[in-house]
Amino acid sequence: MKYTITLIPGDGIGPEVSDAARRCVDAAAKRHGFEVKWEIALAGETAEKKFGSVLPKSTLESIKKNKVALKGPLTTPISEGFRSVNVELRQRLDLFANLRPAKHFEGIKSRYGKVDLVVVRENTEDLYAGIEFDEGTRSAGQLIRFVKSKLGKKIRRDSAITLKPISKTASERIVKFAFDYAKDEKRKKVTAVHKANIMKFTDGLFLKCAQRVAKKYPKMQFEDMIVDNMCMHLVTKPEDYDVLVCPNLYGDIISDLCAGLAGGLGIAPSANIGKDCAVFEPVHGSAPKHAGKDEANPTACILSAVLMLSHIGEKKAAKDLEDAVLGVIKENKFVTYDIATGKPVGTKRMTSEIISKIGK
């Protein structure tokens, strides 16, 4: 069997961690008798320098053709320059579900030992939809006047505004995805996270959709929780929670919180899944200060590749690779600075150690 998979190396530490994941996948594939042909495609800063576009058409075409991609993190400048390429990619390919497991592994120093959570984040709308009105623009002024005339509500004239669309379609789809995932993975409970007490229409709709979908899964426990309360409960009793389904922004924040509970961004993988394509990537960003120094933790990207192998049906290879990663972390002898209890090793050395343990 031969798979063709798009590989987007990414910016900052991206090329180093994605190369580590690629080496691991190749080693697991060899052991399990299949082959992966990597189709390199660029995005982000790297693509802008080479092609003058942060998301070249050829990159989108490659993912659409191959249906699966492994992606390193991409740099997005804060407040100026291009809007996030990650967000653009998710929207263009309708990768509506962002799956972010946060599990504590033996060998990782953490305040919590029993974290095993999965955040399912809606990926296409909410405040991430990219509908913004800049301060002082004509359209911002028109919107401010419209709100005043229709709702009698005052928005300060010197405001910038972001819209928060939440649809029934996207909400039902993401909650259904969360329940199906929970059922398939033999999880026990789904918690819908919202702020429906304040945003009665948008978050209210998300909650209603969640309650409606939950009725179709009578064997799965279901509850809902207001996002601020959720944060407090996650920090005090993470073991009480299982699968959390969230609108886009809360999902983004809560998944970093969960990554922190489990042991840090260096070990947190994710999958962006749509009807036709899937893109696998670490939760962390391009960490520019660590770039090119052979010191970034490759675990998050390698575990994203584990999710990818499982997605394409290579479950045994996925399990072997995951076990190899967990083995190296448990020993804590050849691990990077962020999780090392003794002398750390570099990205390449940790990767070689993982490869040597595949299938052992």
Q: Kindly state the smallest distance separating residue 114's Cβ from ligand NAI, in Å.
A: 23
Q: Kindly state the smallest distance separating residue 213's Cβ from ligand NAI, in Å.
A: 27
Closest CA to 358 of 315, 328, 334: 328
Would you say 190 or 271 has its CB closer to ligand NAI?
271
Q: How far apart are CA 212 and CA 314, in angstroms?
A: 34
DSSP symbol at 39: E
Q: Is 57 a catalytic residue?
A: no
Extract long-range pairs of 181-184: CB within 8 Å, 24+ residues apart: 181/99, 181/118, 181/120, 181/243, 182/118, 182/217, 182/220, 182/242, 182/243, 183/217, 183/220
Q: Is 252 a catalytic residue?
A: yes
Which of 3, 128, 181, 241 is an active site residue? 128
Which of 134, 200, 228, 293 is an active site residue? 228
Which of 19, 252, 320, 338 is an active site residue? 252
Would you say 73 or 238 has its CB closer to ligand NAI?
73
Would you say 285 or 346 has its CB closer to ligand NAI?
285
Would you say 74 or 273 has its CB closer to ligand NAI?
74
Q: Is 128 a catalytic residue?
A: yes
Q: How many CB atoms lie within 10 A of CB 130?
A: 13
The residue ranges that bind ligand NAI (CB under 6 A) are: 13, 17, 73-76, 86, 265-266, 281, 284-287, 289-290, 296-297, 300, 338
- CA dihedral of 58, 62, 65, 66, whole degrees rounded to 10: 180
Q: Kindly state the smallest distance separating residue 13's Cβ from ligand NAI, in Å.
A: 6
Closest residue to ligand NAI, judged by C-beta, is: 285
**161 contacts 133 by C-beta, under 8 angstroms:** yes
In the structure encoding, which two tokens stand for residue 162, read together? 């972001």
Closest CA to 266 of 51, 69, 73: 73
Residues marked active site are found at 128, 195, 228, 252
